[in-house]
Amino acid sequence: MRLRSIRGTALTAALCVLASAQLAHPALAAPGNPGEPRYSAGAASIGDPYFPAQGNGGFDVKHYDVSFAYDPATKLMDATTTITATATQDLDRFNLDFRGPEITGLNVDKHKASFQRDGQELVVTPRPKLKSGKSFTVVVKYAGTPPVITDPDDSIEGWVPTDDGAFVPGEPQGAPAWIPSSDHPTDKATFTFHATVPEGITAVGNGQLLSQTTKNGQTTFVWDSTEPMATYLATVTLGKFQVAKSTTPGGIPIYTAVDPALASQSAATVAKIPDIIEYFNSLFGPYPFASAGAIIDRAPNVGYALESQTKPIFSSAPSLSTMAHEIAHQWFGDSVSVKRWSDIWLNEGFATYAQWLWTEHNGGATAQQTFDSTSNYGRAATSAFWQTVTADPGTMDMFGNVPYNRGAMTLHALRGKIGDTAFFKLIKDWASTHKYGNASTADFISEAERISGKDLKSFFDVWLYQKGKPTTW
């Protein structure tokens, strides 16, 4: 770490010398000279049609250090985020995604940088410029009230104040409400959070609790998310919580934070977390992260749960089935993430199918019975349900029934088509091959064909790409 920054400084100094040499002898910097830097602006977008403002080009984020103080009484945040990134082209400008409050300072590698804001785009002009391959840091200071973000389907996320703190879900576009970031699932990074809140409030973040210290009526929680994480899975949710710690039989530490008003309703579900993780370990391969847990809060205006990495967040007391869904997402969604948002069935269909499997394992309806039910294949062929394309539902329906239920039906039908042995091998393989990475529907189809040895083009066409109720496959 230390060595690297010393080398970084030496490199910066060398670049400054080079840059002034070029100014003195412009002919040396003739464009196209091999080895000469060719600076340009990083792309303002990663190019995902569902959310065209998301993500940025020209660099790759490695780590976010998000440090803030927040007071639920005033809803004011005072924050400093340090981004460590590597340039992937010679950059004279780059963008971040940010919808948070006023920026009070922005440095790139200790040098004050000029910036402009345009909607979600935060356009940064680093000087000196950044050469491809260079590791650099961006320090953004900001203060004010982070916003609630509203999605195309009218659901809300971002920074959502509650009675006693804030509920912080980020899918699909909430992270820039409070973190200047490259907000697309394909730019994963590790995260450290330092959250300072009034004594009595607990700040619960992704990953492991490194420290909790109280001074002058303020408590600082330091959370470390040590495996790569998509920005939308970041949370530091704040409130008055009952905290409990345990471990899975396999030794994964579990940290649960439950709103006291929901404690008795949630107790039986929370008690099952180790069993759910163990069951999914047996189906999907080892739990992918260093810790596990859950945050159960009261955020009635949110009304959904989210698979925040290592600690899913629930806006009300969850059913056992919803808990199983969010835990399954740790493998499918969090560890293996989508390449494009149109692939969302790879998250929701898998988590929903895992729910069916858990329910059967736990003595409830079999997966076949759930498949056949009137919420699923039992729906009339005339139902509007069958008119959304599973593998491209659009931003209005990406969290609607189709990616979840038709997605899960697709997996159950595939299991019938290729048999249990190939199916469960495929699912385990999928989790291990793409661990901490990104994958697409096309990747899944080719792996299903490879592992089963079957031509599945028309199967997947019927289930994923065509409208209408499948009849033969």
Interface with ligand ARG (CB under 6 A): 151, 155, 157, 171, 304-307, 325-326, 329, 348, 399
Closer Cβ to ligand ARG, 95 or 388, answer by number: 388
Closer Cβ to Zn ion, 83 or 294, answer by number: 294
Q: Output b/e per residue, 245-256; b: 16+ Cβ within 10 A.
A: eeebeeebebbb
Neighbouring CB atoms inside 10 A of 154's CB total 7
* Helix (H) or strand (E) run with residue 118 in it: strand 114-118
Residue 232 touches which of ligand ARG, Zn ion, none (Cβ within 5-8 Å per kind): none
How far apart are CB 464 and ligand ARG at their closest, in Å?
19
Beta strands in 356-468 (DSSP E): 438-439
Shortest-Cβ-distance residue relative to ligand ARG: 155
According to DSSP, the β-strands at 165-167 and 121-125 are unpaired
Closer Cβ to ligand ARG, 48 or 109, answer by number: 48
Residue 121 touches which of ligand ARG, Zn ion, none (Cβ within 5-8 Å per kind): none
How far apart are CB 163 and Zn ion at their closest, in Å?
26
How far apart are CB 352 and ligand ARG at their closest, in Å?
8
Residue 155 touches which of ligand ARG, Zn ion, none (Cβ within 5-8 Å per kind): ligand ARG
Number of residues that bind Zn ion (CB under 5 A): 2
**Six-digit token string for 79:** 């924050």
**Six-digit token string for 272:** 């099952």
Amino acid at 349: G
Answer whether 113's CB lies under 8 Å from 107's CB.
Answer: yes
Residue 304 touches which of Zn ion, ligand ARG, none (Cβ within 5-8 Å per kind): ligand ARG
Answer whether 308's CB lies under 8 Å from 323's CB.
Answer: no
How far apart are CB 173 and ligand ARG at their closest, in Å?
8
How far apart are CB 122 and ligand ARG at their closest, in Å?
22
Residue 171 touches which of Zn ion, ligand ARG, none (Cβ within 5-8 Å per kind): ligand ARG
Closer Cβ to ligand ARG, 83 or 306, answer by number: 306
Residue 436 touches which of ligand ARG, Zn ion, none (Cβ within 5-8 Å per kind): none
Neighbouring CB atoms inside 10 A of 458's CB total 11
Closer Cβ to ligand ARG, 154 or 420, answer by number: 154
How far apart are CB 8 and ligand ARG at their closest, in Å?
38
**Six-digit token string for 320:** 């056992």
Residue 306 touches which of ligand ARG, Zn ion, none (Cβ within 5-8 Å per kind): ligand ARG
Shortest-Cβ-distance residue relative to Zn ion: 351
How far apart are CB 304 and ligand ARG at their closest, in Å?
5
Closer Cβ to Zn ion, 257 or 408, answer by number: 408
Closer Cβ to ligand ARG, 87 or 324, answer by number: 324
Residues 6+ apart with CB under 8 A from 276: 323, 324, 327, 358
Closer Cβ to ligand ARG, 130 or 229, answer by number: 229
Closer Cβ to Zn ion, 97 or 348, answer by number: 348
Q: Which residue in 196, 10, 44, 177 sits closest to 122, CA to CA?
A: 44
Q: Within positions 318 to 377, which residues make up the interface with Zn ion, using CB under 5 A?
A: 348, 351
How far apart are CB 31 and ligand ARG at their closest, in Å?
45
Distance CA(10)–CA(303), nearest Å, equals 51
What does each C-alpha distance from 300 to 25, 178, 258, 382 come to in angstroms?
A: 64, 21, 15, 33
How far apart are CB 39 and ligand ARG at their closest, in Å?
38
* Helix (H) or strand (E) run with residue 14 in it: helix 2-24
179 lines the binding site for Zn ion (CB under 5 A)? no
Closer Cβ to ligand ARG, 107 or 321, answer by number: 321
DSSP readout, 259-317?
-GGGHHHHHHHHHTHHHHHHHHHHHHSS--SS-EEEEE---TTT--EE--TTS-EESSP
How far apart are CB 404 and ligand ARG at their closest, in Å?
7
Residue 109 touches which of ligand ARG, Zn ion, none (Cβ within 5-8 Å per kind): none
Answer whether 86's CB lies under 8 Å from 133's CB.
Answer: yes
Distance CA(90)–CA(222), nearest Å, equals 34
Residue 305 touches which of ligand ARG, Zn ion, none (Cβ within 5-8 Å per kind): ligand ARG
Distance CA(386)–CA(273), nearest Å, equals 34
Distance CA(308)–CA(229), nearest Å, equals 9
Which residues are near Zn ion by CB under 5 A? 348, 351
